[in-house]
Amino acid sequence: MSKAVRRWLITLVCLFVPLFSFADVLKITVDDTIQPISDEFIGRAIQQAKTTNATALLITMRTPGGLESSTRNIVANILASPVPVIIYVSPSGSRAASAGFFILESADVAAMAPGTNTGAAHPVTIGGGQMDEVMKQKITNDSAAFMRSIVAKRGRNVQVAESAVNDSKSFTDKEALDQKLIDIVASNEQQLLKDLNGRTITRFDGTKVTLNTSGAVHEYNMTLRQEILNWLMDPNMAFVILAIGLLALYVEFNHPGAIVPGVVGFFFIVLAVFALNILPVRYSALALIVLAFVFFALEAKFTSHGALAIAGIASLTIGALLLVDGPIPQLRVHLWTALSVSIPLGLITAFLMMIAIRARRNKVTTGVEGLVGEIGTAQTPLSPDGKVFVHGEIWNAHSSAPVVAGETVRVRKVDGLKLEVEPGSVAVPTR
């Protein structure tokens, strides 16, 4: 290889390597419940930090907790991270409760802002229901052992950390620092990185690393797909979208060929399925929601004086409340959301079905069939055939009795292009 080619290669390396290796801190923000999208986001951020040769990954966190399965995946990713992970509970007034406490303790550096709190990591059953003492003890012991396995290797206070699991204890930032649950309290991000610069830490595998946090901080954001799914992960939003989709399909069912309601309904239901496929869902609750629409349809068809509509609203409300089996309130459908959707939806669907049924029962007033029962005038004598003027048109007619020109006639039947009529004074039998 010639010296000229070698110089060009060295120049190219010097130009392009900095673009992919900025040796600075990568930062992400987790400000939501811990669920599969949080797990995916943190996992990708760790890979991005490795790819860009970041000196550390800073996770600013504020969470009320979340799903255990997602929490364990996140903790596993943090423990295996090739770059040091700094978790900072911020801003003031925030918390890292329940699942957030496990994630905080798994970090290479656990930090909190003044006025924040953490802890309350006692396991809660899916759906918040009661369980027998043996199963409760098993789950608690399993969570406590998980906490010990993290904290012991990080050199933090095992006994105090375990009390957050067994006794649901919570800690302020000062209490957490004094009892060696965290490593540092910093008033803001800049102060945190300044205080950590040059500090030597021991990683989970026992290796010692000196932090270099003096470089620039690069924000790493969710992809558009992750942002949409994260928005859909709110159980209240998932339920509202499902309800809108079902209502739109209900409208399409009552007005076949409208197309637009069917397309909208299908689109919204697909969105809801995406969310519910990721969230812990009770399928019996979905059955209750479908049953609610059956009640609404029956209310419009039968005279129940509102009993079926009330049953439909109750079924839809209960189905909404049981739809998502979240361990914390933030991962369940709220009562007010269920009521604010169920009551209007019940009234709207019952009203639409009532209109549709009444329209089907009404006598036809348009087209050829709409001529039956109409009053016209004989243009010529009907003995028995002649001409009549009905609905602004002259028709060939056959009369059941003689009619003189100018007399009124009533249409009894339409036979092709000929009308069967009778004198207008003859009463039409009621049907």
Give the strands of the sheet with 95-97, arranged side by side: 95-97, 117-119, 170-172
Same domain, 125 and 248: no
334, 307: one domain? yes
Distance CA 167, CA 159 (A): 11
Residue 227 lies in a domain: no
Residue 210's Cβ-side half-sphere holds a number of Cα atoms within 13 Å equal to 2
Does some domain include residue 278? Answer: yes
With bands split at pLDDT 50, 70 and 90, how would you rate the model's confidence at 316?
Answer: confident
Helix axes 158-166, 133-154, angle to 10 degrees: 150
Helices and strands in the chain: count of H runs, count of E runs: 14, 16
How would you label 177-188 residue by residue, b for 16+ Cβ within 10 Å and e otherwise?
A: beebbbbbbbee
Strand partners, 88: 60, 111
> Is residue 129 pLDDT above 60, yes or no?
no
CATH code for the domain of 385: 2.40.50.140
Q: Mark whether 144 and 251 lie in a shared domain.
A: no
For residues 174-188, give the mean pLDDT. 96
What phi and psi values does residue 362 have, to the nearest 5 degrees? -65, 145
Q: Do 419 and 373 share a domain, yes or no?
A: yes
Q: Which residues are annotated as catalytic?
A: 98, 138
Per residue in 357-383, pLDDT (tens digit) is: 666 565 555 556 667 778 888 888 888
pLDDT exceeds cutoff 70 at 10: no
Mean pLDDT lowest among 216-225, 242-251, 362-371: 362-371
| Residue 22 Cα to chain centre, angstroms | 37
Instruction: Decide which of 189, 222, 255 is a domain's last residue.
Output: 222
State yes or no: pLDDT of 328 exceeds 90: no
- If asked whether residues 205 and 64 sit together in one domain, one would say yes
**Dihedral pair phi/psi, residue 178, rounded to 5°:** -65, -35
Do strands 200-202 and 208-210 pair parallel, antiparallel, or not at all (unpaired)?
Answer: antiparallel
End-to-end CA distance of the chain: 104
Is residue 160 a part of any domain in this protein? Answer: yes
**Does 153 share its domain with 289?**
no
User: Is 121 within a domain?
Assistant: yes
346 and 377 together in one domain? no
Collapsed DSSP state (helix, strand, coil) of residue 382: strand
Q: Look at phi and psi of residue 163 and say left if phi exceeds 0, alpha if psi is from -120 to 50, else beta.
A: alpha
Structure token pair of residue 400: 């059941």
Within 8 A by CB and 6+ apart from 4, the residues are none
What range defines the domain where residue 388 resides?
368-423
Q: Are 55 and 155 members of one domain? A: yes
pLDDT at 323 > cutoff 90? no
At 421 the three-state DSSP class reads strand
279-305 confidence digits (pLDDT tens): 888 888 888 988 887 887 777 667 667
The average pLDDT across 239-249 equals: 86
Assess whether 207 and 59 both reside in one domain. Answer: yes
What are the helix (H) ranges across 197-334?
224-232, 235-254, 260-278, 283-301, 307-323
Return the exposure string of 112-125: e unless at least 16 CB atoms fall within 10 Å of the residue's CB, then b.
Answer: bbeebbbbbbbbbe
pLDDT in tens, 190-199: 999 999 999 9
> What DSSP element (H or E) covers 37?
helix 36-51
The answer to the question of residue 428 being in a domain is no
Q: What pLDDT is stored for residue 416 in this prediction?
A: 77
Cα–Cα distance measured from residue 318 to residue 313, given in angstroms and rounded to the nearest whole number: 9
Model's pTM, two decimal places?
0.70
CATH code: domain of residue 137 = 3.90.226.10
User: Of 213, 177, 222, whose CA–CA distance to 84 is shortest?
Assistant: 213
Residue 68 falls inside a structural domain: yes
Predicted local distance difference test score (pLDDT) of residue 131: 57
pLDDT at residue 391 is higher than 50: yes
Please check whether residues 169 and 135 belong to one and the same domain.
Answer: yes
The verdict on residue 241 lying in a domain is: yes
Most confidently predicted of 105-114, 227-236, 244-253, 412-421: 105-114
Give the domain-ending residue among 202, 222, 242.
222
Q: Which of 320, 342, 361 is the last residue of a domain?
A: 361
Q: Is residue 205 part of a domain?
A: yes
Q: What is the pLDDT of residues 83-118, one digit of tens each?
A: 999 999 999 999 999 999 999 999 999 999 999 999
**C-alpha span between 299 and 310 (Å, rounded):** 9
Q: How many CA atoms lie within 13 A of 400 on its CB side?
A: 13
194 with 290, same domain: the answer is no
Q: Look up residue 308 and give its two tokens.
A: 């079926």
Q: Is the pLDDT of residue 402 over 90?
A: no
Q: Say whether pLDDT at 343 is over 90.
A: no
Gyration radius from the chain CA atoms: 36
Q: Total structural domains in the chain?
A: 3
Query: What would the pLDDT profile of 53-74 be if each residue is shown by its tens digit?
Result: 999 999 999 999 888 889 999 9
What is the rounded (10 degree) CA torsion for 257, 260, 266, 267?
A: 160
The percentage of residues in the chain with a pLDDT greater than 90, rounded to a whole number, is 36
Please tell me whether residues 8 and 109 are part of one structural domain.
yes
